[in-house]
Structure 1
Amino acid sequence: MLAAALMHAGWNAVVRVGGDRFSSILLLSMTQSGLALILLPFAAQPLPAAWPWIAGAGLLHTGYKLFLIRAYQHGDLSQIYPLARGAAPPMVALGGIALFHEHLPPAGWAAVALIALGVGLMAFRGGAGVSRLPVKALAYALGTAVFVASYTLADGQGARIAQTATGFAMWMFVGDGLCMLAYAVATRGPRAPVAVVSEWRTGLPAGMLSLGSYWIALWAFTRAPVALVAALRETSVLFALLIGVFLLKEEAGRWRVAAGVAIAAGVVAMRL
């Protein structure tokens, strides 16, 4: 899961520095779908009851990507990424109670509180004060978090019903790619798939990192409580903060660092 977290932060950084982020994300989705189609013959097929979950998960992943594109248009990686990812575990924890009857112990709720504190710090002080935090950046980042929580719960339930994490993942990636392709053609015209070729330097590596990262996560959903897996995966916010500061040369004041520490502490508490 730590390897998956690093890969997830890595593909977000690649997309953040890309020129046309929509094209990068579209190529990411097409790369995922292409790799998934190649791997499908070697994967077990999901049980019939899992197909509605596969379809719903594909739509949720597409919504997540579209909101993420908008968020990166208005904010930095080291600010948007912790917001989008850090706000999701508390939502997943609450959703896990309703969907999986997975009740958290006191340490788990302490983790939720720490993550929420980190998210609040990143949102309201991480950008050097409320006055400098773009409202649209906050709105799209939190909207992205809602999609993250929703697809996490849907994928966790779907992978368990499918009784094959790999089969569920590959078909979900195919569905996500088709949804993104349909949206691109509807909004940018029939030549949209051809236009993404210019973004291959960011789209292709991002697609491979994204597929590897979430394939691991889906496997983990079938081995451990969903809230636990989701929280451990959010150690990626620290990788993203380091990438943003040291590679993208983004500013990181004491509040961003404090927010990252709070989120990390919450992740550790969730793991315990």
Structure 2
Amino acid sequence: MATALVLSPASSGVPAGVVAITLVAAVLHAVWNAIAHGVPDRLVGFALIGAAYTVVCGATALVVGLPPSAAWPFIVGSAAIHVVYTLLLWASYQLGEFSQVYPVARGTAPWVVAVIEVLLGHHLPVLQLAGIVVISLGLLTLALDGGRPSRATLPALGAAVATGIAIAGYTVVDASAVARTPVLVYATWMFLLQGPVMPAVALVRRGGRLRTTTWPVLAVGFGGGVVSLAAYGLVLVAQTSGATAAVAALRETSIVIGAVIGAVFLGERFGMGRVIAAVVVAAGIVLVDL
């Protein structure tokens, strides 16, 4: 599957360097999510990721300066949606296994955007409509992994779907914003605004215990935040090539990578059905983005 995804954009004239950068970004995205899930106290993990956003983007903001006034509503709106997304992602990882909830969350977003376009009366090519169907089948397979969802798994799946809706929300806002402000300035201030939220939540919930629980995972959690920023930055670099659709499709190989990471490295049961379903979801996203 990964080979097919690489060959298709390359054959359409997308530079090999763009393909390579996007695939690296996909791996990094799956890795930072795996780190967030793998930290024993996941609230602390997300707090450290937020701390990394604050430190790195705070330093960057001193260099890039303030965004134009017209960009502030988009920056604030995207940061607010990102906070909701982070809280929902935290809930998803508290409730479910990474190899299931990560593909559901990532796969729901493009599905929601495409379905909204259909409901608004926008004409979609046959391939994109087929992509919606394929994504739906993949998500349904993930939801039904191991049989009919039990009451125990429904909260995790619900949180993952809600996470995907939040992803769709900030994707729409970000797409509108980049035409109004330089991408680096926009991303810097958006991450800087959202960064302190999870550390604040962790401080309120953990209180005096926060220092004790943070120290053992300080490097891992903070590193996860840096990896997250690197993944986002690499995608932005790839998008400057103009191959937006190809970059969007390639990025979603992170869904397959995430399913494999969960099965192989996080000690979750190796469900080949989950890996296959993740591949189906990624293939559907490629069709939607064509």
- Please indicate the TM-score interval, normalised by the length of the shorter structure: 0.7 to 0.9
User: Hey, what does 2:184 align to over in structure 1?
Assistant: 166
Q: Which runs of 4+ in 1 moved over 6 A?
A: 96-99, 225-228
Give the partner amino acid of 1:29.
G
Structure-1-length-normalised TM-score: 0.86
What is the aligned counterpart of 1:42 among 49, 63, 68? 63
Change in Cα spacing, 1:195 to 1:244, as seen in structure 2 (3 Å) is closer
User: Hey, what does 1:33 align to over in structure 2?
Assistant: 54
What is the aligned counterpart of 2:172 among 131, 148, 153? 153
User: Hey, what does 2:88 align to over in structure 1?
Assistant: 67
What is the aligned counterpart of 2:221 among 188, 193, 203? 203
Asked if 1:235 is matched to 2:253, the reply is yes
Q: CA deviation at 1:258?
A: 2.8
- 5+ residue gaps, structure 1, are none
What does residue range 97-136 of structure 1 map to in structure 2 within 5 Å? 104-124=124-144, 126-131=145-150, 134-136=153-155
Give the partner amino acid of 2:32.
W
Change in Cα spacing, 1:196 to 1:73, as seen in structure 2 (3 Å) is same
Q: CA deviation at 1:19?
A: 1.1
What is the aligned counterpart of 1:217 among 230, 235, 246? 235
Q: CA deviation at 1:77?
A: 0.8
CA distance in 1, matches of 2:245, 2:173: 12
Q: Secondary structure at the match of 1:161?
A: coil
**Contact 1:96–1:227 (8 Å) recurs in 2:** no
CA distance in 1, matches of 2:135, 2:284: 5
Structure-2-length-normalised TM-score: 0.81
Q: Secondary structure at the match of 1:145?
A: helix
What does residue range 73-88 of structure 1 map to in structure 2 within 5 Å? 73-88=94-109
Q: Which deviates further from its counterpart, 215-224 or 237-246?
A: 215-224
Q: Determine what percentage of the aligned residue pairs are the same residue.
A: 36
User: Hey, what does 2:9 align to over in structure 1?
Assistant: none
What is the aligned counterpart of 1:140 among 143, 151, 159? 159
- For residues 48-72 of structure 1, give each alpha carbon's deviation from its aligned partner in whole angstroms, at most 9, with x where no partner exists: 1111111111111111111111111
**Contact 1:28–1:207 (8 Å) recurs in 2:** yes
CA distance in 2, matches of 1:50, 1:97: 29
CA distance in 2, matches of 1:129, 1:218: 39
**Cα RMSD (Å):** 2.9
CA distance in 2, matches of 1:138, 1:215: 29
Q: CA deviation at 1:243?
A: 1.0
